[in-house]
Structure 1
Amino acid sequence: MDAVGLSLMNEAVGGSEKCVSAVREAFGAAEALMIRNVSQVAKDFRCCQTPKDHQDQVELMQSLADIVMGTVQYNEESVLMSISDLCGVMTNQSAAYNEEREPYQRLVKLSQIYRSSSEEPCLDVSHEKRVKDLMDTTVQSERRAERQWTYQTCTEFGFYQTCEDASCPFSGMVTLRSQTEICLELFGISQNSLPGRVAFTNRYYGGDEPHAHRVLYVNGGVDPWKELSVGNRTDGGEEAESVFIRDSAHCADMSRGRVTDRRSLKNARQEIEKHVESWLKTAQQEKKRTE
């Protein structure tokens, strides 16, 4: 989540220090109000139910953080809102925002915008219901992809998005412990076993030094997931290299090209094509030599 905060400050994509400060203040206010009057918070964010315990409160804080994290992750690839749009809601001082000047009220506004794009009439914050839905293993389950992803996090790579230091712009209620409780609830996998499972994955695949060749590691400067990728690897010569697109987000290079794409993204796609073309030619030559 620290990486999300850095992207919210990136002026090249419409972010600012003022924006991340407003987000941090909004989440702090939401958490403080929830301690005093949880019913009011549930009403403000139009929750389907009033959080009945700590786990439900964490679900609410996680859902609100997901709005910001999802925006940052896809930025200009998103169909709803970009970082610039989000920061506009959180910091705009125009007459249209006179009634929502406080960061908390701006976060409420932000959640309203996202909910308006969803078919869900309210924000479901029941941890019990979430677990029940994720226990559904039928192919018709609406959460089948989330269940599969969760299983991978519990058995292979972790990748938890936590908020446990002063620089995090979201709620400190979203901890590693709260994130990993689901492993035991869904799969009977203890939290204590996770470090060993992650360590095995890193040993097996090579961690920061993967045992691979002819791989291109492409990362966007705005993408929070770049922190978990392989960067600046050129030790394999043309066999393994990296491409860094400073102002693009998650997997932007894989999307169809658009006239509005940034120059850095267009240049990166050309570089990717060059590598793939070169490796295909090399593979063809190697095949001919073995025939």
Structure 2
Amino acid sequence: MLFSLVRCLILLLLLTLTDAGRTLMKIKERVRNLQLQKAKQLLLTHPASGRQPLRHVKEGRIHQQLDHFNRKNVSTFPQKFFVNEAHWQRPDGPVFLFIGGEGPIYEFDVLAGHHVDMAEKNGALLLALEHRFYGDSINPDGLKTENLADLSSQQALADLAIFHQYISQSFNLSHRNTWISFGGSYSGALSAWFRGKFPHLVYGAVASSAPVMAKLDFSAYSDSVGLSLMNEAVGGSEKCLAGVREAFAAAEALMSRNASRVARDFGCCQIPRDLDDQIELMQNLADIIMGTVQYNEEGVLMSIDEICTVMTNKSEACEEEVEAYNRLVKLSQIYHSTSEEPCLDISHEKTVKNLMDTSIHSGRRAERQWTYQTCTEFGFYQTCEDATCPFSGMVTLQSQNELCPILFGISQHSLPGRIAFTNTYYGGDNAHTHRVLYVNGGVDPWRKLSVVQDRTEEGDEAQTIFIKDTAHCADMMSGRVTDRCSLKKARQEIEKHVVSWLKKAAQEKV
């Protein structure tokens, strides 16, 4: 019970904010906070292996340069980190670094997860570093547009390099301590990039579900969701995908004729008369299915099998189009039945207002910061303009990136150049970097921007693991009895790679 709750919490910490719908973000935040409280209580009252796990975790702050690339700027910010020495075999044991992404880190990042399991087996010192401008690692007024100029993946990698130096001095580490980095989703990309840019600091990197290829129009996300809805191995079917297509087409058509009824059916706070509000509604409905696919069978959302059961269940004798619409309404009702929100807020005006909030209390929400990074580095806009998209074609590239000039004064025309720079700087999905292990799930839409093809370089082992029937970051969790065989095997393969790196590093240092 204890570790199942911790496992669920760790999964919630990995949920990326690239899911655009506001409803899904609110649900994630609410469930994450609830599970955090429960897990803390259980860890404090139920010793594990005769120890109080939290007693081995130390929280610290390192004062980082706001701009590592401008020596004239001496401004700093406090960056949060955690250390767990419980498993460390002093003095030469390895160092496992968990890299924070677009959200806060918690002590559980050095207490639970597959990287922690491997640390226990290999006597590693466990570290977790929070990403600048997220969580508690931000100065007052740091979210103002002029200050966000110091928020970038390049600065984050420099933070990691300085943190490496700081920890090495604090714990009297030497070249005999082999560093391995870990991350999932955006932080998985950071793990790969850290190894690529600072190979003398980190010996190997595990990059789970890592979108290392920046992409402006990420239409492949929705296409991939459609393919997963047809995947019979995880409960999908062609009938399920067809039902989703019909449902969204029917909802969009009805909204143009009777917006009041659509608002009533889906429990909206407002009647979606304006185009922007209509797009908000369509995006939030799509999020229910997108989130289900992305985190299939991980206990946070419904599974693909469950969602397809709803979308293919014919309970009434009526026209196919009406039946499909009713099933989408039912799916929405099931999903929002646990919501504490009195209604579904689809006001685009409120969305913009929230994203323009620069007060420090909004720092832990992270939407504004991540939106800035999509505008300046990554794109990742999940559009639905292709004929293959199973959702509403109202979600266009224009509707997705129009926030950049509104929020930050960043021209939409500059986005292609910014994204091209990111891929040139890091190498996209063809960066020839040794000892980076890319792990991806076949159900995860983000695999489209990761590295999924095995390749060997100068006799090095294969650099990828592909788990055909699992979802986003599933490999990062500690194992469960109910895990698919493919997932269990993948974790074994990850461990083989990590152990082989540690052995090779030890041989090189003899």
Fold-level match, TM-score > 0.5? Answer: yes
Counting only pairs closer than 5 Å after superposition, residues 129-140 of structure 1 correspond to structure 2 as: 129-140=350-361
Partner-residue secondary structure (3-state), 1:75: coil
Structure 1 residue 99, shift from structure 2 partner: 8.2
Structure 1 residue 166, shift from structure 2 partner: 1.3
Residue by residue over 1:206-228, the C-alpha shift from the partner in whole angstroms, topping out at 9 and shown as x without a partner, is 01212422110111000011001
In structure 1, stretches of 5+ residues that fail to align are none
Alignment correspondent of 1:184: 405
Alignment correspondent of 1:245: 467
How far apart in 2 are the matches of 1:240 and 1:206?
A: 18
Q: 2:491 aligns with which of 269, 272, 285?
A: 269
CA RMSD of aligned residues (A): 1.7
Alignment correspondent of 1:118: 339
Structure 1 residue 257, shift from structure 2 partner: 0.9
Alignment correspondent of 2:448: 227
Alignment correspondent of 2:506: 284
CA contact (8 A) 1:215 1:240 kept: no
CA contact (8 A) 1:4 1:69 kept: yes
Partner-residue secondary structure (3-state), 2:437: strand
Residue by residue over 1:144-164, the C-alpha shift from the partner in whole angstroms, topping out at 9 and shown as x without a partner, is 322222111111111111111
CA contact (8 A) 2:470 2:487 kept: yes
How far apart in 2 are the matches of 1:230 and 1:71?
A: 23
Counting only pairs closer than 5 Å after superposition, residues 60-75 of structure 1 correspond to structure 2 as: 60-75=281-296
Counting only pairs closer than 5 Å after superposition, residues 50-69 of structure 1 correspond to structure 2 as: 50-69=271-290
Q: Which amino acid aligns with 2:384?
A: C
| The structure with more helix, counted as a fraction of residues | 1
- Taking structure 1 as the reference length, the TM-score comes to 0.94
Structure 1 residue 124, shift from structure 2 partner: 0.8
How far apart in 2 are the matches of 1:173 and 1:163?
A: 7
How far apart in 1 are the matches of 2:433 and 2:407?
A: 33
CA contact (8 A) 1:133 1:143 kept: no
CA contact (8 A) 1:115 1:122 kept: no
| The structure with more strand, counted as a fraction of residues | 2
- Taking structure 2 as the reference length, the TM-score comes to 0.54
Q: 1:88 aligns with which of 309, 319, 331?
A: 309
How far apart in 2 are the matches of 1:110 and 1:33?
A: 17
Residue by residue over 1:177-200, the C-alpha shift from the partner in whole angstroms, topping out at 9 and shown as x without a partner, is 111011111111111111001000
Structure 1 residue 239, shift from structure 2 partner: 5.7
Alignment correspondent of 1:162: 383
CA contact (8 A) 2:293 2:304 kept: yes
Question: Are 2:320 and 1:98 aligned?
Answer: no
Question: Are 2:254 and 1:36 aligned?
Answer: no
Partner-residue secondary structure (3-state), 1:234: coil
In structure 2, stretches of 5+ residues that fail to align are 1-221
Question: Are 2:394 and 1:173 aligned?
Answer: yes
How far apart in 2 are the matches of 1:203 and 1:17?
A: 39
How far apart in 2 are the matches of 1:127 and 1:280?
A: 51
Question: Are 2:427 and 1:206 aligned?
Answer: yes
Q: Quick one: structure 1 residues 143 and 29, their matched pair in 2 at CA, closer, same or farther if it must change by over 3 Å?
A: farther
Alignment correspondent of 1:3: 224
Counting only pairs closer than 5 Å after superposition, residues 140-159 of structure 1 correspond to structure 2 as: 140-141=361-362, 144-159=365-380
Q: Which amino acid aligns with 2:240?
A: C
Residue by residue over 1:9-65, the C-alpha shift from the partner in whole angstroms, topping out at 9 and shown as x without a partner, is 000000000000000000000000111111111111010111241111101100000
How far apart in 1 are the matches of 2:453 and 2:497?
A: 16
CA contact (8 A) 1:154 1:189 kept: yes
Structure 1 residue 118, shift from structure 2 partner: 1.8
Alignment correspondent of 1:257: 479
How far apart in 2 are the matches of 1:221 and 1:187?
A: 36
CA contact (8 A) 2:230 2:241 kept: yes
Q: Which amino acid aligns with 2:343?
A: C
Moved more, 198-207 or 226-235: 226-235
Q: How many residues end up aligned between the 2 structures?
A: 285
How far apart in 1 are the matches of 2:466 and 2:381?
A: 23
Partner-residue secondary structure (3-state), 1:230: coil
Q: Quick one: structure 1 residues 180 and 49, their matched pair in 2 at CA, closer, same or farther if it must change by over 3 Å?
A: same
CA contact (8 A) 2:291 2:301 kept: no
